[in-house]
A and B are shown apart, each in its own frame.
Chain A
Amino acid sequence: DGGITQSPKYLFRKEGQNVTLSCEQNLNHDAMYWYRQDPGQGLRLIYYSQIVNDFQKGDIAEGYSVSREKKESFPLTVTSAQKNPTAFYLCASSRGTLPDTQYFGPGTRLTVL
């Protein structure tokens, strides 16, 4: 079955540590996205990538980094510079051409202790 996988589902880290969230898709989609979800704030875009080896900052990129070395993979690193990293992180992908639909993974809940 085609879809998006994110791992792990729950992640705990100590303050000051970097952590990488995995996102893999087998939908053959060109575009991939990372969103952060906080209660009452909806989804906010962190980074997006329209094609392999290219990515752009979204609305809240500070303290995060990404890479897009393969079409199917778009990992997100939450660095120690992110001041409030505890949140639910969602990865999505789409064909990348309008009109378009984004398909979402199950999410990773990150808690900083």
Chain B
Amino acid sequence: AQSVTQLDSQVPVFEEAPVELRCNYSSSVSVYLFWYVQYPNQGLQLLLKYLSGSTLVKGINGFEAEFNKSQTSFHLRKPSVHISDTAEYFCAVSDRPGGYQKVTFGIGTKLQVIP
């Protein structure tokens, strides 16, 4: 069975500082990995995804993530955060047991950017 662990429930960071949001996963088969962002009282929006190929994935809003198979991690990074990055971030893993695409989400990490 697949699972996702987001190691930090909340991450405060000063504006213009770098940030890393951690995500570890487990899965018995090849995986596809995603990061989504959720602003207050809104739905989730895709930030980036890893399907195959290069382990460094670039997404929207200056975010990037690195797939590390040996460490089963998919950490999200941004070199300089902005106030507008304050939101909740969800890591997700997807595979296809029995022909159905099952997506498992982590519990989320709240990023608070401090002015």
**B107 → chain A closest CB, angstroms:** 4
- Given A31-B101, A98-B32, A101-B49, is A43 in contact with B90 using a C-beta cutoff of 8 Å? yes
* A40 close to chain B: CB less than 8 A: yes
Cβ of B90 and Cβ of A107 under 8 Å apart?
A: no
User: Which residues does B use to contact A, with CB under 8 Å?
Assistant: 9, 32, 34, 36, 41-46, 49, 51-52, 90, 94-96, 100-103, 105-108
Q: A56-B100, A107-B41, A107-B43 are in contact. Are A40 and B107 (CB under 8 A)?
A: yes
CA distance A35 to B104 in the complex (A): 11
Query: In the bound complex, do residue B90 and residue A90 qualify as a contact, i.e. CB atoms below 8 Å apart?
Result: no
In the complex, besides A45-B102, A104-B36, A107-B42, 19 extra interface pairs with C-beta distance below 8 angstroms are A40-B9, A42-B105, A42-B108, A43-B44, A43-B105, A45-B103, A50-B100, A88-B41, A92-B44, A96-B101, A97-B101, A98-B95, A99-B32, A99-B49, A99-B51, A100-B32, A101-B49, A106-B42, A109-B41
Q: Which of B44, B49, B106 contacts A104 (CB 8 A)?
A: B44
Known pairs A48-B100, A101-B34; A90 contacts B94 (CB<8 A): no
* Contact pick for A105, options B32, B43, B52, CB 8 Å: B43
Please, how many angstroms separate the alpha-carbon atoms of A82 and B41 in the complex? 23
Residue in A4, A99, A103, A104 whose CB lies within 8 Å of B94: A99
Q: Per-position contact with B for A22-51: 1 when CB-CB < 8 Å, else 0?
A: 000000000100010000111101001010
